[in-house]
Structure 1
Amino acid sequence: MAERDAPLQAGPSIARRQTNDPDSFNRLKQQGLADIVRLAGKRWTDYNLHDPGITLLEQLCFSLTELQYRCDFAISDLLSSADGQIDYAALGLVAPQHILSSRPVTAADYRRYLLDQLPQLTDIYLLADNMTGLYRVLAVAADTGTTTGPDVQQLDIDIRRCFSTQRNLGEQLGDITLLTPLACQPTAELEIRAAADPVELLAEFYYCCQQLLQQSTERQSYADLLAQGLSYSQLFDGPLTPAGMLRHSEPATSVQLHDFIQPLQSIDGVVQLTQFSLCCNGEHYYDSLPLQHGLALYALQLPANAAQLNVQLYVGNKAVSVDLAAVLQRYRQKLFRQQSRWQVDLDGVCALPQGRLRPLAQYHSLQAFLPVNYGLAQSRGQLQPAQWQLKGYLLLFEQLLANFLAQLQQVPALFSPSNTEQSYYWQVLNEQQISGISKLYPADMAEKLGQLYQQFDNVLARKHRLLDYLLALYGESLYQHSLQHFDYYHNAYSGAARRLAQKVRYLQQIVTMTRDRVAAPDHYAPLWRDAVGGFVQKQALLLDLGQTAQSLTTAVLQYKLRLSSERQLQSLYLDETRADDLLQPVAALRLPFAPDSPALRRRLATAICLEGDTLPQQVVQSGVTLSNYRITLQQQRYQLLLKVPNSQRDEWWLCGSYRHYRRALILANCLSRFLCHISHTSEGLHLIEHVLLLPAKAKARLPAEFYDGRITVLCPNWTARFADSGFQRLVTESLQLNCPAHLSCQVLFISFERMHRFERLFKYWRSAVKAGRDSAGPETVALAQYLYALSNEAAVERADAPAD
């Protein structure tokens, strides 16, 4: 009876899946019904399943779930091309080994980098002087023990040039001392197994001793470390060293012989290490080894012949003889494998994700899923007017769905930084997708859709938001609000486009903008444009400067012109009461030639302000703005006038006089465009680190504080923007804000003549550095003294300037 009253056990079943996804079919349908009740509750009361409106709502919700399904594809699929490849560079994405690695920051980082790049080094240590920024270098050459010995002079040059490529601001190499490591020969007795190969065992013994003595040669493969479970952030911590990761980056301050016992006893075939010591300079050491300059610098000394072999092998109590030549050959093979096995392609180690092409834009009409009695699947000739009306009604929804899929297909173009032409995408449906669509579409449907979307496609604003998102992936942002107040060279639209291009350049150079943000110039680079460091490159981009790679005076000198702060043009004074009647504003023209083209230069030949080879810099500063020009009719000639900046009276410069108004109008536009060109391309920065001039300290006879922890940035003061005191403050704040905290950054704004003089001295000094001439030569002395004079003049001018 008890068994009869027992409750029935539920059989196996599939639990109903509960989801809170707002885009699920049920949630979409509920939301649709709620909207129908709210909008048409008084006119529509039948919400049963047999209602055609409910059927259409269900089909629409089903189609929306298809859109959600395609949006949930892997991002690699959404970004892949037809061959499954992803153009990472075009999308502004950077591989982990480039974006996660950093420049050398500490002395240990420099050691890792130099050992990786210079195979002629066995070991190297950099000892920092925090006051001057100099590193004293202790190096060990790889060929110290050879008969010829190392080329000391060439090794010095190689170290300095390699260091210069990764140098940070305010850092420089001082004296380089080449040390000879202590030669250590092991003395040991080993009991081995009878089955062990004595040649292999003794070669491994010497190899293990070499690794323990010369820790700088211990490298680990990136592929092996990745297989051990290290993450990319752990793997690429510090400078990138393609030859492998150094196991020990910090210098060893002592070598204890008890650290040798366990590794040597762990050699395959060794039963017991019964005796071990190291012989250095004829003296045996059992506890620890002596140091050089406080560093553990040692080299393994191999026996030259069998008589010098101090490692004895025993099987029980019986000595085992070994072929020394075979041992040395096997030892060299181990060394060669250790030195060369890590040379791998990092792009292959860090395999980037690949996707598969999916036809995301392929659209399936929801009409195909409607009941058969709707009759929408019939041929065009069988459709009734009511059915055509329903097709047209549904086309409104289907076009939106199809355009969404087209937008999804164009995700790579949407997120591509270089694509700034379009951000909304659409597609025109065809007869295979919806039968009879050609009758519902107008003949120029593609053109009409394009015109419609262009009305709402604010490309610049949308691309700005997308670029902000891409920059945020790297923890970066680019604020341009302050810069907008000093845009002398563009109108509203071209200025917005220019700021968008600025963000694109920032993203394309994201490695330089982040990893190399405090990189110093490499003055050993072959060309001037290659010597620009990451700090200058970033500041030039943040301030939207036109020049980073050459002389700032070349933009003017190449036109056989010189700027002068003293020359003044003859001024005209107009009666202020009649000025409004006499002066006509200049309208902007679309010129068919470039600002640096010969065609534009020919039209400027008649400009009075360009007569001779000297141009007042006030003309450059005022003439970039077209609103500063006026045209007046005097004695049946049209005169082009330029407003004198900061003039107390209604004062104008005469730029040209013509019989025809059109020629004066063209001249004004040509002159404005040309002056904008030379003004913008003259804007740049010259950075000098005082520590580089330290070798000339004795000859230059300058104060000691001139060299310690200081950098000077020279900027032009003759361009339109740099003549603005507000922009000068912005430049100074940006440079000092981004400068390393331990350095004092001085910003000087100097005239064209002084900049030309500085660039000549800088060129001579840099040529001397590249040629390896005396670092305390006359070029360094002249540059240091001129820079000191400029600093003193700036200090005097600041003292005489009125208070704000």
Structure 2
Amino acid sequence: MDTINHITKTPLPPHQDFTFLKNEALGYIQKHIGSEWTNFNPSDPGMTILDQFCYALTELGYCTDFSIPDILTDANGDLEINNQFYLPYQILTTAPYTIDDYKKYLIDGIEEVYNVAIICYNNNIFPFNKVYQVYVYVNPEITNPNKIKNICKSAFYLLNKSRNLGELFNVPIALQPVNCWIGGKLDLKKEADPYTVLLELQAALRSYVFSKIAQTSTDNLKLAGYTSSEIYDGPYLENGWIITASLVDKKDTIQAVDLVSVIESVAGVDSISGLQLYQEQKTVALLQSTVNQILSIDILGSYQNKNLILSCNGKDLPFDSFRPLLASIDNFEETTSIISNSTGIKLPKSYFRDINTYYSIQNTFPAQYNIGDDTIEDETKPVQVAQSRQLKGYLTLFDQILANQFSQLANISKLFSFKNSVCGTPSDEEAFYAVKDKYEQKHLEYPVPYKMFSPSYYYQSLYTVPHIQPLLKDSNTFNYSYGNESQAELKEKSWIEYQQDPYNPYIFGLMKLMEQENISLDRRNKLLDHLLARHGESPKVIDSIIDDTIYTGDKRKDQIILKSLYLQNLGLLSYNRQKAYDFLSASKIASQAHGKLDTSLPKIKEKHFRLINENTSDFIFRSEQINKKEKLHLNDFNNFSGIELKLNLLFGLKNIYSNFITSQLDILKNSSEKQSDSDAFKTVQGALWFTEKRSGSILLESVLLLNQLKFNLEIIKENQVNAASYRIENIDFQTVTNLNYVLNVTDETTLDIQLQQNFLLFSDVKYFFIPSNETIENQNDYVKATRSNYSFRITIPSGNEKVTIDSKIFKKSVFLIFPDFIPPFQTAEFKKRLKQFLKINLPANVNYECLFLSCQELEEFIPDYLYWYESLRYKDELLPLKTDQESPFTDNADKNVTVNPAQSAMNLISSLTSILETKNGRN
């Protein structure tokens, strides 16, 4: 049967219904006009005007019903997403924070890592947050020790890219396989292929012990019923998403009964009987592995050793060597192809709608009105010309209102953009630049054409209205000539130049009339508050944090600037909010000069004396300039922690330092004192260093200081007279944390056996101790182990008893350091806001202390900080040692003394300890 197409009469929505709009207008007129207007017939010109206006309103109503994707689609057909929306994978994911997050992160980041086990060292010895020991399950096919070592090294670098504040990763360890076998009779189904069954059984047992984690696409997970919050829970993954529920722990103990259900779940297996377990070539009741091992149940070996017998229908199958099986059994796994992880977001199909282009209502009037293209311009008929222009002037008011409404709708993307608009009439600005070449665009004859600060109402000119020129003020301004143009050519040239003048009385007056600045600022602030709330940020909290941050001096403008900047960078700041800087790949902040580390502060150059306020141009704030200057990039989070970058942005530290430098240089210009010796000179250098080398502050993690040091570990057994003690010296941080873990999780019997042989075992590595029978007079310094009567003490050998594990410097997770010679930093309001900011943004388990250092204190501190900072990454390099005579405020003399990383850490610890003692003395 053929489909019959027909028109169905359905009511239009009121904003598109001409009859409804006209009746509403007539009702309003009759209610308010009284007896002055009684003719409501089509013959009345007023009714004709009403008809045209209502028709234009239906067009506006039609456009307001366009879909949001269509409204946001530009002339190139591209949907405007940037600085409009954060897609789910951008805003719902976060840098690894939990143990499960780090597992996903490693599995996704390194192809040969099948699964990961992580132990968090929370102990009562070291006053840091967490140290992680990671064990990676490497592809069993890889047996080359060097390749496995490189995989562990890659994992170490990858983990440090997403290290959280106050936390540290030890070098990952590859899980070592413990060879195991099974025995018994495996009864197969009649149709089963023995070869396939053995392959699938091997894969099933491997998966049961510690499965290879599968990654999949967003679409597949949504089809499986997972929500967006479940899919995007954790870090962004390049090769497919991992559901948290799939991350099960490694099985370190297995009984025979545990394997029965696993074996019988394999396709082709009917049952298993007489199941036995073999480990270390012996029959055992329980398969066992340690934290650094993984049980490897060898099905091929079990079959070849004839421990595992295949049968079918009650008859044993003859032994078959299955030669092809030898080559392929280890390759048989549940195949999971690498997914090039798309975002999983399919943008809606949309079409460009030319909403902004306005068609004047004067074009639709009957010809006898003489206001369209046939407008009377005959100078011999002055009365008719005057009448036509009078009506056009009246109708132009309606045209302007309608045109502005279309422009407002067309610029919805700018209204709700993270970026502040800089022009209220984008179409006129585009037309202005369209006729200029590159040179003219950079060398404009007009200052800041069409520019204004953050408009929230949009409008457009009516230059396309037929014969509008005589109605616009001073439209004959450019009606002059240096040549022999005809009157018609001169008129056309004059009209074009008038339109190209962004300050002609019409367009400039329109800009001033559209919205008052007070209304504009309040309206834009509310829009930004809405955008913040939509992303889970409290506008009131943001307002309190940025309360005293100054860019323009106008509080509302500063709020708009800072909220806009924060929203533009919210994706990266939110994702990396807990992240510390990557000390293994951070850029150098001190250069080498003549083979020496240059610890001198930046030199003041002539360009610094010519500093001007770069944030404004012709009294208009340059939003594009500040957006570019404050834009964050991924590499910034390698060099700085997320909280440093957020602090710098919301407190406007760059601007504070810039203002300080400018003011101090003004003092230097007018000073008769030798500039290089003045306090102002030194403070300017310090301010330049904080802006050019740091992000306005120094964030120092105490765990990184510990990571550079060497340690001694002593062990004694309590409640024994003249008990032997054991000592190991000059071990690194990873070793001491691992031994600390061993002492707390190992039972007393095992410790007795190992220490009697003068070693402790960790991950198949024996750490040998020196025994001693010296009497320990004071055991209060020793900490009791969790599961035994042993106690132990960790000391820092190079500390000269001044730097110990209990030092004040290690009681805080992080130190945040500012110069105290910057006036805004000295105010109580700044410190109050800083305290609130840190309380909100730092994890609950991270404690902190803020230090404000004088110029003299920084003079000693910064060189020590530079040596230590560079030694974190370049451990194999010997750096020149700063002597007491050197100063960062003067040129360094060449010295031949070198310092190793441990010594550089000790120097910085001593410097910081001295500062803390001084501060406490003042308090």
User: Structure 2 residue aligned with 1:741, among 840, 844, 851?
Assistant: 844
CA contact (8 A) 2:690 2:697 kept: no
**Residue of structure 2 in register with 1:755 after alignment:** 858
- CA pair 427-611 structure 1, distance change in 2 beyond 3 A: same
**Residue of structure 1 in register with 2:741 after alignment:** none
CA distance in 1, matches of 2:17, 2:414: 29
Residue 796 of structure 2: SS of its match in structure 1?
helix
**Residue of structure 1 in register with 2:352 after alignment:** 357
CA distance in 2, matches of 1:373, 1:257: 101
CA contact (8 A) 2:532 2:567 kept: yes
**Structure 1 position 233, deviation (Å):** 1.9
CA contact (8 A) 2:52 2:364 kept: yes
How much identity, in percent, do the aligned residues show?
22
**Residue of structure 1 in register with 2:646 after alignment:** 538
The one-letter code sitting in structure 1 at the alignment partner of 2:703 is V
**Structure 1 position 749, deviation (Å):** 0.3
Which runs of 5 or more residues in structure 1 are unaligned? 1-12, 557-594, 622-673, 799-804
**Structure 1 position 110, deviation (Å):** 2.2
Residue 401 of structure 1: SS of its match in structure 2?
helix
For 1:211-260, what per-residue CA distance to the aligned partner results, in whole angstroms no more than 9, with x for missing partners?
A: 22222534444442133242322211012233341553352466566565
CA contact (8 A) 2:668 2:680 kept: no
Q: Does 1:282 align with 2:281?
A: yes
**Structure 1 position 155, deviation (Å):** 6.0
CA contact (8 A) 1:125 1:251 kept: no
For 1:488-545, what per-residue CA distance to the aligned partner results, in whole angstroms no more than 9, with x for missing partners?
A: xx6536x876654433332222123222222222211230564211011111111111
**Residue of structure 2 in register with 1:658 after alignment:** none
- CA pair 749-393 structure 1, distance change in 2 beyond 3 A: same
CA distance in 2, matches of 1:617, 1:273: 86
Instruction: Report the more deviating stretch, 127-136 or 678-687.
Output: 678-687
Residue 816 of structure 2: SS of its match in structure 1?
strand
**Residue of structure 1 in register with 2:583 after alignment:** 523
- CA pair 723-616 structure 1, distance change in 2 beyond 3 A: farther
User: Structure 1 residue aligned with 2:796, among 666, 673, 698?
Assistant: 698
Matches within 5 A, 1:50-449: 52-89=45-82, 91-119=83-111, 121=113, 122-129=115-122, 132-140=128-136, 142=138, 148-149=144-145, 157-173=153-169, 179-187=175-183, 189-192=185-188, 195-244=191-240, 245=242, 248-252=246-250, 255=254, 260-261=259-260, 264-273=263-272, 278-283=277-282, 289-293=287-291, 297-301=294-298, 303=300, 307-308=304-305, 311-316=308-313, 317=315, 319=317, 324-335=322-333, 337-338=335-336, 341-347=337-343, 349-366=344-361, 379-380=374-375, 389-418=390-419, 420-423=421-424, 424-429=457-462, 436=467, 442=475, 443=495, 444=498, 447-449=504-506
Q: Does 1:784 align with 2:887?
A: no
- CA pair 415-318 structure 1, distance change in 2 beyond 3 A: same
Q: Does 1:453 align with 2:445?
A: no
CA contact (8 A) 1:690 1:709 kept: yes
CA contact (8 A) 2:461 2:507 kept: no
- CA pair 153-775 structure 1, distance change in 2 beyond 3 A: farther
- CA pair 367-92 structure 1, distance change in 2 beyond 3 A: closer
**Structure 1 position 754, deviation (Å):** 1.8
- CA pair 241-445 structure 1, distance change in 2 beyond 3 A: closer
Residue 162 of structure 1: SS of its match in structure 2?
helix
User: Structure 1 residue aligned with 2:698, among 667, 686, 694?
Assistant: 686
**Residue of structure 1 in register with 2:33 after alignment:** 40
Instruction: Report the more deviating stretch, 165-174 or 389-398.
Output: 389-398
CA distance in 2, matches of 1:452, 1:146: 76
For 1:303-346, what per-residue CA distance to the aligned partner results, in whole angstroms no more than 9, with x for missing partners?
A: 369734655544433626656343355545544943xx133133
Matches within 5 A, 1:369-768: 379-380=374-375, 389-418=390-419, 420-423=421-424, 424-429=457-462, 436=467, 442=475, 443=495, 444=498, 447-455=504-512, 456=514, 458=517, 463-477=524-538, 479-480=542-543, 483=546, 485=548, 487=550, 492=553, 500-527=560-587, 528=589, 530-546=638-654, 607-609=670-672, 611-617=674-680, 684-695=696-707, 696=709, 698-699=796-797, 700=799, 701-702=803-804, 704=806, 706=808, 707-708=810-811, 710-768=813-871
CA distance in 1, matches of 2:354, 2:677: 64
CA contact (8 A) 1:363 1:405 kept: yes
- CA pair 756-676 structure 1, distance change in 2 beyond 3 A: closer
The one-letter code sitting in structure 2 at the alignment partner of 1:217 is I
CA distance in 1, matches of 2:549, 2:566: 20
Residue 125 of structure 1: SS of its match in structure 2?
strand
Count of equivalent residues: 677
CA distance in 2, matches of 1:609, 1:519: 48
The one-letter code sitting in structure 1 at the alignment partner of 2:109 is Q
The one-letter code sitting in structure 2 at the alignment partner of 1:225 is L
CA contact (8 A) 2:103 2:117 kept: yes
**Structure 1 position 483, deviation (Å):** 4.7
**Structure 1 position 204, deviation (Å):** 2.3
Residue 469 of structure 1: SS of its match in structure 2?
helix
Superposition RMSD on alpha carbons, in Å? 4.4
Instruction: Report the more deviating stretch, 774-783 or 715-724.
Output: 774-783
Q: Does 1:796 align with 2:921?
A: yes
Residue 278 of structure 2: SS of its match in structure 1?
strand
Residue 163 of structure 1: SS of its match in structure 2?
helix
Residue 704 of structure 1: SS of its match in structure 2?
coil
CA distance in 2, matches of 1:703, 1:306: 56
**Residue of structure 2 in register with 1:662 after alignment:** none
The one-letter code sitting in structure 1 at the alignment partner of 2:79 is I
**Structure 1 position 291, deviation (Å):** 4.7
CA distance in 1, matches of 2:904, 2:561: 40
- CA pair 139-35 structure 1, distance change in 2 beyond 3 A: same
Residue 654 of structure 2: SS of its match in structure 1?
coil
Instruction: Report the more deviating stretch, 100-109 or 132-141.
Output: 132-141
The one-letter code sitting in structure 2 at the alignment partner of 1:360 is I
**Residue of structure 1 in register with 2:756 after alignment:** none
- CA pair 540-84 structure 1, distance change in 2 beyond 3 A: same
TM-score normalised over the length of structure 1: 0.72
CA distance in 1, matches of 2:580, 2:179: 38
Residue 613 of structure 1: SS of its match in structure 2?
helix
For 1:579-638, what per-residue CA distance to the aligned partner results, in whole angstroms no more than 9, with x for missing partners?
A: xxxxxxxxxxxxxxxx79xxx99x9986425624122249979xxxxxxxxxxxxxxxxx
CA distance in 1, matches of 2:258, 2:361: 76
